[in-house]
A and B are shown apart, each in its own frame.
Chain A
Amino acid sequence: MEKLSKYRISFLLLLLVLVLCFVLNISLGSVSIPFKNTLGELFLGSIKNESWHYILWNYRIPKAFTAILAGGALSLSGLLMQTLFRNPLAGPFVLGISSGASLGAALLIMGASIFSGFVSFERIPSFSLAIGASLGSFLVLLAVLTVASRVKDTMALLIIGLMFGSITAAIVSILSYFTSSEELQRYVYWSFGSLGDLSWSQLSLLAGIVLIGILLSIASIKALNSLLLGENYAQSLGVQLKKSRYIIIVATALLAGSVTAFAGPIAFVGLAVPHLTRQIFNTTDHKILVPAVLLYGAILMLLCDTVAQLPSSANVLPINAITSIIGAPVVIWLLTRKRRMLF
């Protein structure tokens, strides 16, 4: 609808900020590495110190990339949900995607010992945890989709997603009641969210899935724009409603499901970033919003992660808590400033 060139400067600025946040993020951490050495390592590949090299390339840089992917993907899935459900409060959590992932993780961590007669597995590798969580979110989504094909009203679909979320949350509660304290602790740790557990191979898998989600979203831009008028209007504009709805839901599942699987549940980013972006770019056109939301989400997540690792201390705060602490006030601020949440 609008010229992309009008926003070229804003996008260039955002990209610059993203790069700055990336450098800031990887130069801060529990081990202090001088800033110029970080830059040297990053751009020239000059090895001054073996352990610095190791920390940067095997810990901080993959973590920063995970933050970029997680922030961008969660925000984009939030945007898709808000437009599809015509509800400013929709986010990746409403379709039960995140709770499905939680269920998968819970079954794997806590269910294993309960169902195998209290013989606990020594340690479940994080890779299979990711697969379990993905399976969980995929199954819940499949259930929602099955119901969705019978329900015409999108609002009803929203409530069905919430109900599935409640059911999975209840099962997780029951599991936690019967499980050992160690396993419960491990599950709670997973639910804190963590960006730092991904190896390069896991990271590339995550990147691949997120990329498919982004491509599906780009393919849906026209349908998303006409959905701003409502489903009946969109249909009268030639949109294949059922098909578009499926594509958008699958894109959301890939984006939010994969991130939750690998990094645990991360709250509020998906809800808050699309609203922030609409405020700053002052448009509803998804041709602008899709890339903008990706950039803002990535920047915000990098900043949250920078705060979470408490620079120059050995402690790392749970990322899920930080995003909520930053995200919730943003939503409150938006509401009080504009008196209403529009999408």
Chain B
Amino acid sequence: MALNKKKKDVILSSNSQHITIAAKDLSIGYKNLRVASDINFNSHSGELIGIVGVNGIGKSTLLRTLGKIQTPLSGSILINNNALNILDNSALASEISIVLTEAIASKNLRVLELIALGRQPYTNWIGTLNKHDKSKISEVIQMLQLEDLVHKKCYELSDGQLQRVLIARALAQDTSIILLDEPTTHLDLYHKVQILKLLKSITEKTKKTILFTSHEIEMVIQLSDQMLVLKETDSSFGKPSQLIKQGAFDNLFPSDTVSFDADTGTFRISK
């Protein structure tokens, strides 16, 4: 086991272009409703990837499909070279962690308890934390500067604080991939930037792949390494600068309402 892990580390360090998620000809949606198809992308370790698109195009659906909360309609997803559909829940739990938009069920949880839950895939049958688990938890708390919050209850936290705590929980799960569904909703401009910069620094420090959906297209263009612009049939994936050149943002919204300015990378309200 230890040898195996070492081997994996060597491979990771010798090849920083290790593919974490490979989606091929992916179609997503529900039984009677196909929301988006022909989605193709590869993500690598250490990349921050923003998923953008208009409302209802299936950003959350894509994220939920990648997290195996729902099944794809067709196409394939490889997670660290393993097919997603053959990974069972417990194997997947050490590959992918998630942060969802839905409220956590119990706001009565203390912050420390919540973060500790991230260690569940590694704990014994009753969930006892060992030394390694505890050091991982305190490492995460330090990294996200949550020292002052750990003894608070979740209902005492502001939206921005809760979002950071949920990210901490995902980090404690210690997976190579983290999926976040709209981590910046309900936050003001300052906290939006704070969260996105935090995600950026996490990918740099930990070499994890972070995929997140967002409506803040301009911020995502500035901060992310790769972007997926989700459209019904012709989604495009690449570096933000490439996507601007390709004109991927030009007809994202009806041009009589907002238009994209390629020079500044911002959207303008059409007058």
Contact = CB atoms under 8 A, between A and B. Distances in A.
Interface of A: 1-2, 83, 86, 218-219, 221-222, 225-230, 232-233, 235-241, 278, 283-285, 287, 342-343
A222 B120 contact: yes
Interface in B7-32: none
Contacts of B127: 1, 221-222, 225, 287
Residue from B106, B110, B112 whose CB has the most chain A CB atoms within 10 Å: B106
A236 B123 contact: no
Contact of B100 (A228, A233, A237): A233
A238 B116 contact: no
A1 B106 contact: no
A238 B120 contact: yes
A44 to B, nearest CB: 40
A168 B96 CA distance: 45
Contacts of B68: 235
Given A229-B114, A229-B117, A236 B93 contact: yes
Contact of A1 (B90, B98, B116, B173): B116
B107 to A, nearest CB: 6
Contacts, number: 93
Given A222-B126, A229-B114, A284-B113, A237 B120 contact: yes
Q: Is the interface of B mostly helix, strand, loop or mixed?
A: loop
10 contacts: A1-B116, A1-B127, A86-B106, A225-B120, A228-B109, A238-B90, A240-B90, A284-B109, A342-B107, A342-B108
A218 B102 CA distance: 28
Q: Shortest 9 CB-CB distances between A and B: which pairs?
A: A238-B93, A342-B108, A238-B90, A86-B105, A228-B106, A230-B105, A222-B127, A237-B120, A238-B121
A25 B97 CA distance: 52
A237 B117 contact: yes
Most chain B Cβ neighbours within 10 Å, of A86, A342, A343: A342
B108 A236 contact: no
B93 A237 contact: yes
Given A228-B105, A239-B89, 8 more contacts: A229-B114, A230-B100, A230-B104, A236-B98, A237-B173, A238-B121, A284-B113, A285-B113
Contacts of A230: 100, 102-105
Interface string B49-68: 00000000000000000011
B129 interface: yes
A232 B103 CA distance: 11
Nearest to A221: B126
B125 interface: yes
B125 A222 contact: yes
B106 A343 contact: yes
Size category, B interface? 35 or more
Contacts of B116: 1
B155 interface: yes
Contacts of A236: 67, 69, 92-93, 96-98
A236 B169 CA distance: 12
A113 B113 CA distance: 57
Contact of A283 (B96, B105, B113): B113
Contact of A227 (B69, B105, B155): B105
Contacts of B103: 230
A58 to B, nearest CB: 40
A4 to B, nearest CB: 9
Contact of A284 (B93, B98, B106): B106
A83 B106 CA distance: 9
B105 A229 contact: yes
Given A1-B113, A225-B117, A240 B89 contact: yes
A285 B129 CA distance: 13
B106 A342 contact: yes
Contacts of B125: 219, 222
Nearest to B122: A238
Nearest to B127: A222
Contacts of A232: 69, 98, 100, 102
B108 A343 contact: yes
Contacts of B114: 229
Given A1-B116, A222-B123, A229 B89 contact: no
Contacts of A229: 104-106, 109, 114, 117
Contacts of B118: 237
Nearest to A241: B89
A235 B126 contact: no
Contacts of B97: 236
A240 B91 CA distance: 11
Contact of B98 (A233, A239, A343): A233
B136 to A, nearest CB: 14
A227 B104 CA distance: 9
A219 B107 CA distance: 24
A223 to B, nearest CB: 9
A121 B112 CA distance: 61
Contact of A237 (B107, B108, B121, B129): B121
Interface in B159-206: 173
B101 to A, nearest CB: 10
A343 B105 CA distance: 9
A241 B69 CA distance: 11
B67 A2 contact: no
Contacts of B173: 237
B209 to A, nearest CB: 16
